[in-house]
Structure 1
């Protein structure tokens, strides 16, 4: 299977303080890499090191055969790495429609409005006046419609109603089936289990699990979280 992004011995964090230590993984075309770990173990830091808002202090990021760890976030985005952060994920002063069409006014949104009708109902509402769960859905759709083939999602289901989480799962599987590779950080283990092809478990910035989803039971994932 084709690795869109190779993460090789990645180390980094904030300033002189490393949070991730020599971590390696692969984001594969057509697959979801489910990333789990307790709060504060480095999942968001890893996502930001891959996306480019944090600079690694060691290791390599190989995107489709080319080293990109020296590139800034906007340069990585231009090369196909999309990102949905855990917080500050929408433009609060823009409407739902403006959030979705900024820079791409001719984009066809009907398939997403059909799937998430609340967005269609609130298309002219300022994003900052929506609930936290609704903003998450908006941010999720914004990320899905971008022209990227490596997609990083940090806690997309947080605060989202169960029926909409199921719709998110459908979107992720459909997107992976187009050949995208998805890096999904999630605390919702049911969601993670429903969509993941491979698991990456992290504790104290290091790998504790790195194996195919079919080779690890959900209870083993929960056990790893309690280490």
Structure 2
């Protein structure tokens, strides 16, 4: 019997990932660890920048109407989901990365950009400096309360990790169930953030939902 797969990412991504898991014939446990909300931000002069960096799909989802004024900037997105969310807001994708934010910044540097604007979350890992002229917080991910009884439902599951924050939060709440949980992480750095002591842990070959779910299917057997 296959293990259930615990989806820990915030909504609306949680429901979308859970639906894909169920379509693959597995049982999904929907347990978002964070709730995403928009943060008020001031629009800078678009003329100051030569590119827009988006390291999460939540940035275009929650940026609000101010994002429209940046539509002329070429967008560098960290992955397919972020690129899709940006296109849905009318932005033009210059490149979609297959790594993390640091690799995306390196790509901009190689291509000669020097004044990029990054829109991201409150706990972002990429900050101003070098090719990134300015970073602006447009959303925040707030922890949701998880009781020990709810955390016990993770025992014997495959837990999906879409971010380092989720990995760290899971490590905090897993308690005695840690040794029974297998982890499917979206990247090697996310896997490392979970720490040791799990039943198994592996990282997807590319940082997207399809690869992560394929990995979860393997770990669930």
Structure-2-length-normalised TM-score: 0.29
Q: Which has the higher strand share?
A: 1
Structure-1-length-normalised TM-score: 0.29
Bigger Rg over Cα: 2
Larger RCO (alpha carbons 8 Å, 6+ apart): 1
